[in-house]
Amino acid sequence: MVNPTQLDPIAPGERIATLDVLRGFALGGILLMNMESFVGPVFQANTGLDPALTGADRIADGLVYFLVQGKFFTLFSLLFGMGFAMMVQRAEAAGRPFAGLYWRRSLALLGIGLVHSLLIWSGDILVPYALLAIPLLAFRDVPARWLAWLGVACYLAAPAMLLGLGLLSQWVPGWDAFMAQAGKEMTEVAEAQRQAYASGGYAEAVAQRVRDFGLMLSNLMVFGVMIFGMFLLGAAFTRSRAIQRPELYPRLYPWLRWAVLPLGLLLMLASFVVASGFSLTVFDLRTGLAQALGAVAAAMMCLGYLAWVMRGLELPAVARWLQLLAPAGRMALTNYLVQSIVCTLVFYGYGLGFFEHLPRFWQVPFALGLFAVQVMYSQWWMARFRFGPVEWLWRSLTYWKLQPVRHPVTFLG
């Protein structure tokens, strides 16, 4: 008998394959973005183009910064918001309660994120997602149009803050001294990471991750509003059915491809011209303007990438290749954690110890090779099992019962 108060997990046949492809695509971009943070100190990885690099290393660093950095965590955040709205729609359609289940889902994700952040890698995104997912519940009944505008406004608050800080730097007495001291402290943190992760044992690495965790949370004032804005925008895509039924919006995706993406590229170019790299000890008007432009460009480019993937899925020859990403997207959480485990074991001192030894250029083929292996393994795994290993754990904790692991067996005859 079906329990009318129980919202069951989504069956594989009910999934929207487009979202799985998009998650797989985003997963590859996330790995490309994170490689610099695996190979070197986490808090020195988001400073733009490294002026010390030359040749192929400089080209690779510039391309990743220009085309990847900041564009794929926004895409993942957008997809998270889409998934949230789909859960709401299923609950509404079934006439079943949702809030309790969603609280358990968010708390379970928080637990997984804490394990990842403290025991595996301090560049974690799951803890911010879990914390920001909770207030998202208050927006579950907001109409799609309002969700879209609220999402845009929330996201733009972050570049507005960055630009505002840049303006403050021109007028606040002692600002340069304050930034020099803050930069000195961040440099000391980066050096502590270098010592702990390059040559320290596992216990030293965990102790450093605990220290890194507090700094990560302090960045949520700016970083968090960007994530939450993309959550709301993603929810708007689902509530409007723009992601499930793109044919209902014949102008939306061409507009994203041919207007929003080119404008995002131009804004990213403007950011690059204003300041291609950022010092830990300086935050002035130029820095604030460059980072603000880059943040706006990241969201616009993310939406453009989404639209081009959607277009690719409409073309049979391209769709065949893109659909290879779907199994990796179905177990995106597992693959995200595996990326951290593999890379820390390769680069950290308690593993193979290649910390700061892989040139910037070679980080790109390393990431693409690892992702290709994940795509192939995900094909094998999802052909045999209903969920990825961590997805199975997450669902079991969410629904408070062990989920079936294997696909149901069907008998013919």
Give the confidence band of 409 by pLDDT, cuts at 50, 70, 90. low
Query: So what's the pLDDT on residue 360?
Result: 97
- Percentage of the chain modeled with pLDDT above 70: 95
Give percent of the chain with pLDDT exceeding 90: 78
End-to-end CA separation in angstroms for the chain = 27
Give the mean model confidence (pLDDT) for residues 298-312. 97
Task: Give the pLDDT band of residue 358 (cuts 50, 70, 90).
Answer: very high
Distance CA 342, CA 2 (A): 42
> Range with the lowest mean pLDDT among 12-16, 137-141, 276-280?
12-16
pLDDT of residue 212: 94
Please report the DSSP string for 33-72 in residue order.
HHHHHHHS-GGGSSSBS-TT--HHHHHHHHHHHHHTTTTH
Counting Cα atoms < 13 Å in the Cβ hemisphere of 264 gives 23
User: What pLDDT sits at residue 96?
Assistant: 77
pLDDT of 44 over the 50 cut: yes
Condensed to tens digits (0 to 9), the pLDDT of residues 215-259 reads 888 888 888 999 999 999 999 999 999 999 999 999 999 999 999
Q: Please name the residues in contact with 45: beta carbons below 8 A apart, sequence gap of 6 or more.
A: 36, 37, 123
Indicate if the pLDDT at residue 411 is higher than 80. Answer: no
The pLDDT score that the predictor gives to residue 201 is 96
Predicted local distance difference test score (pLDDT) of residue 26:
97
Q: How far apart are CA 361 and CA 222, in angstroms?
A: 30
pLDDT at 15: 52
What is the predicted pLDDT for the residue at 108?
97
- 309-312 own/partner pairs: CB under 8 Å, 24+ apart: 309/21, 309/22, 309/25, 310/18, 310/246, 310/253, 311/253, 311/257
Please, are residues 355 and 349 in contact by the beta-carbon 8 Å criterion?
yes
- pLDDT, position 4: 38
Task: Return the minimum-mean-pLDDT range out of 98-102, 397-401, 405-409.
Answer: 405-409
Task: Determine contact, residues 350/199, Cβ cutoff 8 Å.
Answer: no
Provide the pLDDT for residue 94: 76
Please give the Cα distance from 234 to 253 (Å, whole number).
14
Rounded CA gap, 23 and 10, in Å? 17
Q: Can you give the pLDDT at residue 75? A: 97
Q: What is the pLDDT of residue 408?
A: 67
Q: What is the pLDDT of residue 103?
A: 93
Confidence band for 14, pLDDT divided at 50, 70 and 90: very low
Given CA atoms 31, 33, 34, 35 in this order, what sign does their dihedral have? positive
**8 Å CB contact between 35 and 367:** yes
Residues 6+ apart with CB under 8 A from 128: 113, 216, 220, 223, 224, 227
Q: What is the pLDDT of residues 88-134, one digit of tens each?
A: 888 877 777 788 889 999 999 999 999 999 999 999 999 999 999 99
- Token match 């009944």: residue? 141
Unique residue bearing structure tokens 């570049």: 159
Rounded-to-integer distance, Cα 101 and Cα 301, Å: 34
| CA 58 – CA 64 distance, rounded (Å) | 10
pLDDT tens digits along 254-290: 999 999 999 999 999 999 999 999 888 889 999 999 9
Residue 6 pLDDT more than 90? no
Alpha-helical (H) ranges within 200-331 are 202-218, 220-239, 252-255, 261-274, 285-313, 316-322, 326-330
- Strand-pairing partners, residue 277, are 48
**Mean pLDDT computed over 2-6:** 39
The answer to whether the CB of 323 falls within 8 A of the CB of 17 is: yes
Residue written as tokens 């845009």? 152
Tokens 């895509």 label which residue?
237
SS3 of 301-315: the string is HHHHHHHHHHHHHCC
Task: Flag the least confident range among 72-81, 186-195, 398-407.
Answer: 398-407
Q: What is the pLDDT of residues 199-221, one digit of tens each?
A: 999 999 999 999 999 888 888 88
Average pLDDT over residues 377-385: 96
